[in-house]
Amino acid sequence: MNWRATRFIVFETLESSFSYLDAIAFAMVFGAVLFNWPETVVIASGTFGVAAAALAPLQHRRIASISNVRYFAAPLYGRELARAFALGPCITLAVFSGGAIFLYSLLRHRAVSQYGWMVFGTLVSAEVVATLIALSGCFRAGQQRVLYAVLAMIAGIAIWMLGVAGTPLTLVCAVLAAVAIGFAALRALGETLARYDPVDDLTLSAP
Amino acid sequence: MTAGRAAAVLRAVDATFVRDGVVLVPPFSVEVYPGQHISLKCPDGRAASIAARMAAGIVKATSGTLLIGDFDPRIQPVQVKRFVGYVTHSEDFGWVEPRPAPGSATSKPYEVDSLRRQAAIEMQAALSNVPRREALRRVRATLDRIGWRDTMTFAVALAFIRAVKLLVLDRPPAHLANRVCEVFTDEAVLFCSPQTSEVPSAALVHVS
């Protein structure tokens, strides 16, 4: 395992991992928890966040960032690239979640309630899974890419719904499901990268 | 054409690349031995770029056989990439500055200490898992060998951060290709160019 390469790729791809839609979703959930809005608002906000994470394959900025030929020219296995590509979005989501919890504590002058912890934990789990599945779609085209986005959305929303009740038991169930699906998605991303032929950046007009 | 004795560093037999039923690189066969300089003439620029990536183990042949230093890129991709230095034509490396105007290539000053060049060396060293100081030493040594100090020669020097045995250049400018032929007499070099460009110092292999 080449940790230097992993660290380098994470730093290089971190900027493109940032998504305004994710940030908005976390802000909405944060607002809903802070002001004790109805549960339907929390559910809708989280669903919006998961959908935003699942739309990664349709974001040109992210595709361009991770399909750069220099990564594929380096002596790295597909699984090493997969881990490095997955770490950036996971770090971003963790920062969003941590930021929301910190802001909550700052504004309310007290620790986040158990419900708040459970909701944010579930949202991060769901978004990580959606992102990991969606990343495989970045290396596909056309209908396949859309199918991966839909699959990511379904898996993410399922985990979100599993844990949105905000009890320790539902959080454990959501996290366990997220770990199982996320692990499979990461392996699939590694396989995808090992088989990927980076030629999409070469246009017909090449001299 | 064959240098004989030593083992071939690249051996392709009817290697082809097809995407969505479209033949992007027609079948080509070539053997490259240490010290040999081969120019692969492809139907167009895109075919040249894909052929270069095939020779560098980045893109896998759809059909036919392609072995790089006796390694198969389909099952030993990391071993292959340690073996090959790839110099891209497209300036998608963030650190490559715009190519200097013709005639100004030799006069452009080389600043190894500039932040962009340092970042490029750091990137290549990290991806290749080579210590930074050793990477810098290899870049300097390669640039001293080439003698020219412009953007493209810097890209060639970066490729030599790994101890490569085959250098693959994707659509190099003629002046660079000729200089590489003059300097790297012991290394195997493969130029991939469209039909229209000239690399007079290398043996020609046509892809059609």
pLDDT at residue A82 in the model: 94
More confident residue, B93 or A61: A61
Of B49, B58, B123, the CB nearest to A206: B49
How many residue pairs bridge chain A and chain B with CB atoms within 8 Å of each other?
85
All residues at 6 or more sequence positions from B120 whose CB lies less than 8 Å from its CB, including other chains: B93, B95, B96, B154, B158
Contact B159, B139 (CB under 8 A): no
pLDDT at residue A24, rounded to an integer: 80
Residue written as tokens 């919890």? Answer: A101
What is the pLDDT, as a whole number, of residue B5? Answer: 58
User: pLDDT, tens digit, for every residue of A110-128?
Assistant: 777 788 888 888 988 999 9
Query: Residue B107 pLDDT more than 50?
Result: no
Domain ranges of chain A: 3-195
Residue A188 vs residues A17, A132, A135, A193: alpha-carbon distances, Å: 20, 9, 10, 9
According to DSSP, the β-strands at B188-194 and B37-42 are parallel
Could you identify the residue written with the tokens 């991709």? B77
* Full domain range(s) for residue B93: 10-206
Please report the pLDDT score of residue B109 as a whole number.
Answer: 46
CA distance B81 to chain A (A): 5
Q: How far is CA A51 from CA A73, A98, A135, A154, A155, in A?
A: 32, 20, 14, 9, 10
Confidence of residue B112 (pLDDT cuts 50, 70, 90): low
Rounded Cα gap, residues A141 and B69, in angstroms: 33
Cα separation, A186 vs A81, whole angstroms: 10
Residue B1 domain flag:
no
Q: Does A72 contact B58 at a Cβ distance shorter than 8 Å?
A: yes
| B23 within domain boundaries | yes
Q: Does A1 lie at the interface with B, CB-CB under 8 angstroms?
A: no
- Please tell me which residue, A32 or B94, carries the higher pLDDT value: A32
pLDDT at B151: 66
Contact A75 B93 (CB under 8 A): no
How far is it, in rounded angstroms, from Cα B117 to Cα B115? 6
φ and ψ of A110, to 5 deg:
-155, 165
ipTM for the predicted complex comes to 0.82
Task: Determine, for residues A70 and B77 on separate chains, whether the beta-carbon distance falls below 8 Å.
Answer: no
Residue B125 inside a domain? The answer is yes
Q: Total structural domains in chain B?
A: 1
Say whether B98 sits in a helix, a strand or coil. coil
B203-206 and B188-194 beta bridge pairing: unpaired
* Residue whose entry in the numeric block shows the structure tokens 């390694």: B71
Domain assignment present for B109: yes
Find the mean pLDDT for residues B80-87. Answer: 90
Residue bearing the bigger pLDDT, B59 or B100: B59
Whether B5 is covered by a domain: the verdict is: no
The Cβ of residue B104 has, within 10 Å, a number of other Cβ atoms equal to 10
**What residues pair up with B39 in beta bridges, in sequence order?**
B191, B204
In chain A (207 residues long), the average pLDDT of successive 10-residue segments reads 85 79 78 79 87 82 84 92 90 83 78 81 91 92 91 95 88 94 96 90 55
> Within a 13 Å sphere around the CA of B6, how many CA atoms are in the beta-carbon half?
15
